[in-house]
Structure 1
Amino acid sequence: MTDCATPHAGIELDVINLSKDNKQSLFKSNLNSNNSKINYQAFIKYILKKMLDNTSFLSFSTQIKNVNQILKMKYSSANDIANVILKDVALTTKLLKLVNSSFYGQFSNKGITSISEAMIILGTQEIKLAAASLKIYDFMQNIATIKILKVKTLRSLQRSIIARQIALDEEIKDAEAIQISAMLYDFGEYLVALFSPEVFITIELLLDENRLTRDQASKSIIGISYGMLGRFMASKWNLPESIIHAMKPVENINCSKNDMTIEEFKRTICAFSNELCNIDFSMGDDHIRKKIMEISTNYESCLEIPASKSVELLKMSRHKITQHSSILKTSTKKI
């Protein structure tokens, strides 16, 4: 892999008109008309308005400032970072429970009693990422009011675990983007399912009827891909550019690992993790086996992860979530 990185974060929506008007009925009428594509600016404006009207989103938008502060503290002292985390009592409590468990593969005979101690034992970078990931995961979980959103939230956690493990195995330097990028990889789809379920269903029907990717199907209906929508919304939170860039889908998975830049490799890891976690595990063993083989083969040249390793990654991520379900307040019945 080469070290050159693409400077732009992949947000192709530089100017969005956020003037008033455009209600949900506009999208319903469009979906029932011959011209089924929705004006993407109107749709984004609608989603942003729904976010502003949602108490949980407003609260999280305030809290995300602390998450950003944590992520951008590259040269700050451990005490400075710990003080930011300690402002959130619930986050501190959950984080200490996780670091005292086997979730991060580390153990302390006496038990870790403070965030500062956790940084000494596990590393400052590890704790920064853990705190940011937990904050985002908790937010997505708390606003998940329907089954499809709960499933997506759990899969986002599973993706982040798999992506993180691949990054560790590859010994990627400065791999902080991957864990959170993988977690937010389908954030655009999550927002559409949450705030515009009738549009989400229309896109799902299109997927069933045509051989399209999720991004292709979403773009054909709302004029913007799920991926682009998610990256745009993440940019509104001022997340680090490296995180947003790694959320961008890859266009070429047939290139050699050695020919990719580090940024391209991170994007490929997120895409691969997403495909693995989107397998329908309610189907029979033959279907699951076939899908794992298919995904592993598709990414063979750029990731060099055999099907056997893909199975291990899926088992490992599920085991971690199951083992720590009481801390994460979740259930693996959804994955």
Structure 2
Amino acid sequence: MKTVSNPLFQKLVSKVEDNLLPLPTTIKELIILDINKTSANDIEGIIQKDQSVVARVLRLANSAFYGFNQRISTIAHAIVCLGFNQVKSLAYTASSQNIMLMGLDNYGFDKDTLFDHSLSVAIGSKVLAEHVGITNPDELYVMGLLHDIGKLIINQYAKEELDKAWNIYKLGSLKFFQAEERVFGFNHGTIGAAIARKWNFPEDICTAIEFHHNPEDAENYIKHVYIVHLANGIAKTLDMGSGIVEQQDVQIEMDGVFHEKNLNKLGLNKFNVLEIRKTIFNTLKEFMTQFRDSAS
């Protein structure tokens, strides 16, 4: 784990400690359950506490995306039909939407863009995890969903510094996360991991968040980090919730995503990753349509 001790970093961490970036209760409790390896009954109990999450999960479970002939009317029934891990993923998605829809105006994101991008990376991470044989691909879904949480706190409490990063980025020699590092002394992944640790997330999630832009610096959970890194890059090339900043980086991202050294870490090559990219796009397009319907 990187140790960052500068005034801005400490200021941002203190905002989390003061509960000025609250984590939805459902997400927090589900992650704790993941650590303790508990049962479907426990999952059902947590989801039932938030009726807005229940409603959204059931709408999705009954959507054309899953295609069940019978109506699913309870969370218990959804777990039977969709499976334990799939219902957890839906609950994470439904619970995270409000915090993700805060908007990131200082990053050039409208109110939907961060959520769209996060969902894209979540689905991409899961598809990649399945392809490379990760034991529980749904864990990668959570990592992808939350990989950009650091942007939320920076956007809200470091506008002046973010403006300086923009000015450096516009010179054209650095990616945006590198411009952040130049100005802040850290990037949104670093502060995102600090937030995740304050919320007592397991270390694999924290590590994936921290190094999703610079996976070569990670010392542990190497495959997890490279999966989220690759899914993040693929999401940008699909132009699904890229944001103003990332749209300028798409060509650079295309080159970086398919760099041989990145693919080798996951046993992939340029040919099968292009097929995986198609799978991600098709899954994402269909799921987003159903999710928008469930949110309305």
* Bin of the TM-score, shorter chain as denominator length: 0.7 to 0.9
Q: Number of matched residues?
A: 279
Q: Which residue of 2 aligns with 1:148?
A: 109
**Cα-to-partner distance string for 1:46-102 (whole Å, 9 max, x where unaligned):** 2244446676x34x365543233443341x332222111101111111011112224
Distance 1:97 1:175, change over 3 A: same
- 8 Å Cα contact 1:280-1:288 kept in structure 2: no
Which is higher, the Rg of structure 1 or of structure 2? 1
Distance in 2 (CA, whole Å) between partners of 1:229 and 1:241 is 14
Query: Which residue among 160, 163, 177 is the counterpart of 1:198?
Result: 160
Mean CA deviation greater in 269-278 or 84-93: 269-278
Distance apart, 1:159 and its partner CA = 0.7
Distance 1:102 1:292, change over 3 A: farther
Distance in 2 (CA, whole Å) between partners of 1:121 and 1:315 is 22
Q: Which residue of 1 aligns with 2:8?
A: 43
**Cα-to-partner distance string for 1:1-26 (whole Å, 9 max, x where unaligned):** xxxxxxxxx3x23xx8xxxxxxxxxx
1:274 counterpart = 2:274: no
Q: Secondary structure at the match of 2:169?
A: helix
Q: If the length of structure 1 is used for normalisation, what is the TM-score?
A: 0.71
Distance in 1 (CA, whole Å) between partners of 2:292 and 2:256 is 30
Q: Which residue of 1 aligns with 2:258?
A: 296
- 8 Å Cα contact 1:152-1:190 kept in structure 2: no
Amino acid at match of 2:6: Q
1:66 counterpart = 2:33: no
Q: Which residue of 2 aligns with 1:326?
A: 293
Distance 1:312 1:129, change over 3 A: closer
Q: Secondary structure at the match of 2:136?
A: coil
Q: Which residue of 2 aligns with 1:85?
A: 47
Distance in 2 (CA, whole Å) between partners of 1:280 and 1:314 is 7
1:307 counterpart = 2:274: yes
Q: Which residue of 1 aligns with 2:180?
A: 218
Distance apart, 1:328 and its partner CA = 3.9
Distance apart, 1:288 and its partner CA = 6.4
Mean CA deviation greater in 119-128 or 316-325: 316-325
Distance in 1 (CA, whole Å) between partners of 2:227 and 2:288 is 20
Give unpaired runs (5+ residues) of structure 1: 1-9, 17-39, 254-259, 330-335
Distance in 1 (CA, whole Å) between partners of 2:281 and 2:202 is 28
Aligned pairs (5 A) from 1:160-239: 160-239=122-201
Distance 1:191 1:102, change over 3 A: farther
Distance apart, 1:280 and its partner CA = 8.3
Amino acid at match of 1:44: F
Q: Secondary structure at the match of 1:278?
A: helix
- 8 Å Cα contact 1:246-1:266 kept in structure 2: yes
Distance in 2 (CA, whole Å) between partners of 1:201 and 1:294 is 26
Distance in 2 (CA, whole Å) between partners of 1:222 and 1:288 is 24
Distance in 2 (CA, whole Å) between partners of 1:262 and 1:232 is 16
Amino acid at match of 2:135: K
**RMSD of the alignment, in Å?**
3.2
- 8 Å Cα contact 2:237-2:253 kept in structure 1: yes
Aligned pairs (5 A) from 1:80-119: 80-103=42-65, 106-119=66-79
- 8 Å Cα contact 2:233-2:253 kept in structure 1: no
Aligned pairs (5 A) from 1:6-17: 10=1, 12-13=2-3
Q: Which residue of 2 aligns with 1:37?
A: none
1:136 counterpart = 2:103: no
